Amino acid sequence: MEYENILVTFEGPLALITINRPNKLNALNKDTIKELHKALSGLEKDKKVNVIIITGSGEKAFVAGADIAEFANFSVKQGTKLAAKGQELLFDFIENLSKPVIAAINGFALGGGLELAMACHFRVASENAKMGLPEVSLGVIPGYGGTQRLPLLVGKGRAMEMIMTAGMIDAPRALDYGLVNYVVPQEELLALCTQLANKISNNSPVAIRYAIKAINDCFNSSENGYDTEIKGFGKCFGTADFKEGTNAFLEKRKARFPGE
């Protein structure tokens, strides 16, 4: 399927989504959010895909924020709807996707761009990456989950400072904060993400789906993460993946998970 603002390519069980608006530093607008949702929905259903990587086109930006011109004249009602719809279609959607999503941060990840990266299951950054939530400098607050996910990743005090100063942090500091898992030269970014994705792909897709749900529920005040873990652990025993995984271990061979 062809899209106007994104590119989707495949390498074995891996899918790479590239946000392709280089003239806008890959800024998110409503159409791009809709396209990302459509692509991710399709990839989640595609049994040939185990892991998804999201990155930005070019060498300057992952996503340098939302497209401000699109909402500069919005009313209170329109602004509220923008945030609610965006969270539903993309940010919460990615966080709860049953397949792992890795953010390959290849430059600026600001505002909605950092919020997109934080919605992914984990992040890898290039050495030139810069991250921040500058919304308060525009008279608004992060609206795509930034005030919620950033404290969970870096702690309340650091999140308060980053949001209230509207400043950027570089890749080494993001690594120190725990905002990203790795920092590598830009030319090695996708290679490392692919390596990590392939390691994930060697494991049971069903077990990974249950693990994502259990980890997310650890941070969901309306859920008991321990109960989710117990239920998920038990359900695994009824899967073909569990039978294959245990048989392969006992037979001293590599497992070939059917994904069910």
Cβ atoms within 10 A of the Cβ of 136, count?
13
Helix (H, G, I), strand (E, B) or coil at 211: helix
229 given a catalytic annotation: no
Pairwise CA distance, residues 169 & 131, whole Å: 5
Task: Tell me if 103 sits within 8 A of 196, measured CB to CB.
Answer: no
Q: Which pairing describes strands 122-126 and 182-184: parallel, antiparallel, or unpaired?
A: parallel
- Residue 145 is given by DSSP the state S
The active-site residue out of 59, 70, 95, 115 is 115
Which residues does residue 104 pair with via DSSP β-bridges, in sequence order?
124
Q: Tell me what percent of the chain is helix, strand and coil, each rounded to the nearest 5.
A: 50, 15, 30
115 given a catalytic annotation: yes
The active-site residue out of 4, 135, 187, 260 is 135
Pairwise CA distance, residues 13 & 202, whole Å: 10
Chain length of the chain: 260
The catalytic residues are: 115, 135
